[in-house]
Amino acid sequence: MALLQISEPGQSPDPHQRRIAVGIDLGTTHSLVAAVRNGVPECLPDAQGRVLLPSVVRYLAQGGRQIGWEALAAQAQDARNTIASVKRFMGRGLADVAQAQQLPYSFVSGAAGATAEGQGGGMLSLATAGGVKSPVEVSAEILATLRQRAEDTFGQELYGAVITVPAYFDDAQRQATKDAAKLAGIHLLRLLNEPTAAAIAYGLDNASEGIYAVYDLGGGTFDISILRLSKGVFEVIATGGDSALGGDDYDAALADWVLQRLGRSSESLTDPTDKAALLLAARACKEALTASESAAFSARLAGEDVQIDVQRSDFEAATAHLTERTLTAVRRALRDAKLRPEEVQGVVMVGGATRMPQVQRAVAQLFGRAPLNNLNPDEVVALGAAIQAHQLAGHSMGGDDLLLLDVIPLSLGIETMGGLVERIIPRNETIPTAKAQDFTTFQDGQTALAIHVVQGERDLAKDCRSLARFELRGIPPMAAGAARIRVTFTVDADGLLSVSARELTSGVEAHIDVKPSYGLSDEQIARMLQEGFATAEQDMRARALVEARVDADRMLLATQSAIEADGDLLTPPERAEIDALMAALRTQLQGDDAAAIEAATAALAKGTEAFAARRMNRSIQQALAGKSVQSL
């Protein structure tokens, strides 16, 4: 008889074998790996004691590469082959990269950079001395380095990792991150939103309850999340941000300001080395201005040494529009959460870019209180991810486990007749989640249904982001409106979507895991939300017009079918009257007056009531023909 091995709740069955799970902050500028050791989360250092790993990879000829600090040191001399801020390219097409001309890289279309993981398609790639590399491959190099650091620290292989992503990463960007983890040989336990990871770290550290805002301004992305913390439950009640706004943009704005002072333009710099030197000098100047009122901007451009004294006020004026963009997203998230700034108990600052004095000051003015800074903004996300990874590996933190309730940033739905969007899962819905809705066929005898999955806040599919298309085939032929097709949307804990469609009478089913090949453009998510608010009235009118046309088409189709089947029940005057009503409706369909179309549709419906009653009587007579009352 074999014995069952048991263990305490939350503990490993074998006390000598602990699963090593880590949290990884895959950042735009720097990346980190953290783990829970002796019950305390901490960032793991490299052999030189540095916890930060620059998110930079340099590719050499004959397949060599440098990663991290070594690559960063060579960035100015070999800008074309030294890839930095690759996170901004994850899941994006070539047309989506803002200021591509100012970057020192050689971009190629996704088809030329397709990888074994299927990440070609529409995602851009970069031509390097080591060959064409996709952002997924570059990110995988960084992740593999952090994995090796963790395994060297613990002396054993990793069980898995929680990797953080911006809350505003769309489905394609999240899928690209998952593929990068797979390439790096990492078992991904979960993708965790960066603001939520920060809330985990602060929640345990401060043991506070209430409503908090997490302001996360990193090197390449900005997120704002409003969370309710209560008894170990982290509930995200609203989220917003910009997946193409971060410290890199402050560097670029300062670089443009310097060029203007020099009487030059960014287009005048054609040498990749000059482009890299300009941005590196801007970053160094920006960081110096955090601690002092003035700093020197020093770089060698086009063979000349350039040096300009920059005042903090100059830098703040040149970047004020960027800071205001973050505040606009904050106000929108507060509106979504139905909160006023004064109702927020505290503001958690995350990301190295939040060290800038103008950012600290702007956030304090908006919320009327000084933001929380008692944890290192560079490390807080990795620490929170480590806590979550520790729990997902089956370990206890010695107290109540955390429950994470994240949300999706944009609504998900399908296109219906007339190009309308029927939302299945609204934005800011808590994930993981699954929702279903029933639909039907439009035409008699329809045996297939095309399903178009979209993401966005507009009422028309053409104004939203297309995610996937698939078909449900094998529907039994029936009258229009008789079939019942249940479409189910499922969003997992990583924020990734799968869609299934099932015809309920026959059981035929189709399914797709939504995996687009590239992500949203730099400003597309923010534009989707802005247009959703700004064009609400226009969308309502457009939706009403489309719905009126769909109803009219359905009425015309049904009437025509009825005449073809039972037209002999009509007298010539009656037939002429119905034909006139149909002609009037077709005339109204040529215009854009929804009310007129609805009125003409109603007139046709009323004009065919007597005809419909005769058809029903004929059907009943035919069904009862030859039967006696007793046989019934």
Say which CATH number the domain at 528 has.
2.60.34.10
CA–CA separation, 608 vs 611, rounded Å?
5
pLDDT at 283 over 70: yes
Residues 402 and 467 in one domain: no
What secondary structure letter does DSSP report for 630? Answer: T
CATH of residue 544 = 1.20.1270.10
pLDDT at 318: 93
Q: Are residues 131 and 27 in the same domain?
A: yes
Last residue of a domain, one of 318, 334, 355: 318
CATH code, domain with 196 = 3.30.420.40
Q: Two tokens at 459?
A: 């009422």
Asked whether residue 632 is assigned to any structural domain, the reply reads no
At 566, which amino acid appears?
Answer: D
What pLDDT is stored for residue 120 in this prediction? Answer: 38
Same domain, 343 and 298: no
Distance CA 204, CA 211 (A): 15
Question: Do residue 338 and residue 358 come from a single domain?
Answer: yes
Predicted confidence (pLDDT) at residue 264 exceeds the cutoff of 70: yes
Domain end: 507, 534, 561, which one? 534
pLDDT score for 188 = 92
Sign of the C-alpha dihedral, residues 476, 481, 484, 487? positive
Residues 6+ apart with CB under 8 A from 312: 289, 292, 293, 294, 357
Same domain, 496 and 458: yes
Residue 6, in any domain of the structure = no
Q: Is 10 inside a domain boundary?
A: no
Domain co-membership, 335 together with 312:
no
Whether 631 is in a domain gets the answer: no
- Contact between 79 and 86 (Cβ < 8 Å): no
Distance in angstroms (rounded) separating the CA atoms of residues 109 and 538:
36
Query: Is the confidence at residue 146, as pLDDT, over 80?
Result: yes
Q: What is the CA radius of gyration of the chain?
A: 30
Tokens read off for 632: 């019934």
Average pLDDT value for residue range 71-93: 86
Domain identity same for 287 and 362 = no
Query: Taking a C-beta distance cutoff of 8 angstroms, is the pair 40, 403 a contact?
Result: no
Max CA-CA distance within the chain?
Answer: 108
Mean pLDDT for the stretch of residues 362-388: 90
Q: Per-residue DSSP letters for 135-186?
A: HHHHHHHHHHHHHHHHHHHHTS---EEEEEE-TT--HHHHHHHHHHHHHTT-
CATH number, residue 263: 3.90.640.10
Q: Tell whether 287 and 298 lie within a shared domain.
A: yes
Indicate whether 2 belongs to any domain.
no
Query: How would residue 3 be classed by pLDDT, with cut points 50, 70 and 90?
Result: very low
Distance CA 318, CA 295 (A): 15
Q: Are residues 611 and 521 in the same domain?
A: no
Range of the domain at 168: 21-246+319-406
Give the residue, 100 or 415, on which the prediction is more confident.
415
Which has the closest alpha carbon to 242: 135, 323, 324, 326? 326
What is the CB neighbour count within 10 angstroms for residue 325?
Answer: 17
Query: 160 and 291, same structural domain?
Result: no
Alpha helices in 502-535 (DSSP H): 524-534
Query: Are residues 525 and 564 both part of a single domain?
Result: no
Q: What percent of the chain has pLDDT over 90?
A: 23
Catalytic positions, please? 25, 87, 194, 216
Overall average pLDDT of the 291-303 stretch: 86
Q: Is residue 8 part of a domain?
A: no
Q: Are 291 and 356 in contact (CB under 8 A)?
A: no
State how many domains the chain has: 4
Residue in 267, 356, 269 with CA at minimum distance from that of residue 315: 356
In a domain, 506, yes or no: yes
pLDDT class of 88 with cuts at 50, 70, 90: confident
Last residue of a domain, one of 318, 337, 356: 318
d(Cα 180, Cα 87) in Å, to the nearest integer? 11
Residue-wise pLDDT for 535-586, tens only, equals 556 667 777 787 888 888 888 888 988 888 888 888 888 889 999 999 999 9
Go through 69-97 and write b for each residue having 16 or more CB atoms within 10 A of its CB, e for each that does not. eebbebbbebbbbbbbbbbbbbbbbbebb
Question: Could you give the angle at the alpha carbon of 507 between the alpha carbons of 501 and 511, nearest 5°?
Answer: 30
Residues 149 and 29 in one domain: yes
Instruction: Kindly state whether residue 349 falls inside one of the protein's structural domains.
Output: yes
Strands 21-25, 188-193: parallel, antiparallel or unpaired by DSSP? unpaired
